[in-house]
Amino acid sequence: MQRVKVAVVEDHTLFAESLVLALGMEGYDVKRIPLGEPGRDISTLLPSILRSTPRVVILDLDLGSHGNGARLVEPLTRSGTAVLVVTGNTERSRWGEAIAHGARRVLPKSAPLNDIAASIRKVSQGLPVLDREERAELMRAWHAEQVTVRDARAKLERLTRRESEVLGHFLEGRQVKEIAQLSVVSEATVRTQVKSILAKLEVSSQIAAVGLARRARWSPPHA
């Protein structure tokens, strides 16, 4: 019988090579997809993956500077390729996002190789690999996160341009004194802006404000 083709899309070289070697010994025709130069947009990986004509793609959710691997799930699924996510990310909402976009199952990188191989075997045979209860739980986590993100973005839209710039400085790790120097204003002025930011975002600290902005995948306005 023809060996099942498997493509590995993973930015951690050691893990990827170990997976390729182990699955090859299990009898699969495995190929690691080169990610190319750092910062390359993740959508440019799709043609490289499809050219290898895999039956199953093993995909990580966090591909370093290339971005969110979940963006590849839907186009791969539309092409008829089965996607199995194997990730070090532990956020259930991220797992739910992958499932919502068509991934057949999400496994942690700590999962035994036998579990990964068994999932590949079932997926390649068109068999279910995720029970109804776990799917429902992951989807609930994803929908709850969407609500949280929408709420965070609505709060961020309350900020003035100047307040958004200050929050952008915090995202880059700058403190009040440095922000004041860069903006050529007094520290008192920046502290007043910070108070307004915290009030509008309904948080009690700069750390919480940064956390909210990152969770919403927010970017400050360009100068």
pLDDT tens digit sequence for 65-115? 888 899 999 999 999 999 999 999 999 999 999 999 999 999 999 999 889
Check the CA dihedral 68-70-71-73 and report its sign: positive
CATH code, 5-141: 3.40.50.2300
- For residue 182, give both structure tokens: 């860069």
**Rounded to 5°, angle at Cα 94 from 73 and 148:** 125
Q: Which of 30-44, 66-80, 136-150, 152-166 has the lowest mean pLDDT?
A: 30-44
Distance (Å, whole) CA 60 – CA 40: 16
Give CA–CA dist 67/55, Å, rounded: 23
- DSSP for 162-214 reads HHHHHHHHHHTT--HHHHHHHHTS-HHHHHHHHHHHHHHHT-SSHHHHHHHHH
pLDDT at 38 over 60: yes
- How many whole angstroms separate alpha carbon 93 and alpha carbon 3? 34
Q: Tokens for 207, please give them.
A: 């750390």
Q: Is the pLDDT of residue 202 over 60?
A: yes
Cα 193 to its chain centre, rounded Å, is 32
Residue 51 near residue 24 (C-beta atoms within 8 A) = no
* DSSP letter assigned to residue 9: E
Domain ranges of the chain: 5-141, 157-215
Q: What is the pLDDT of residues 120-133, one digit of tens each?
A: 999 988 899 999 99
Asked whether the predicted pLDDT for residue 223 surpasses 60, the reply is: no
List, in sequence order, every beta strand (DSSP E) within the chain: 5-9, 29-32, 56-59, 82-87, 105-108
Euclidean distance between CA atoms 13 and 160, whole angstroms: 43
CATH class, 157-215 region: mainly alpha
Strand, coil or helix: what is 102? coil
81 within 8 A of 89, measured Cβ to Cβ: no
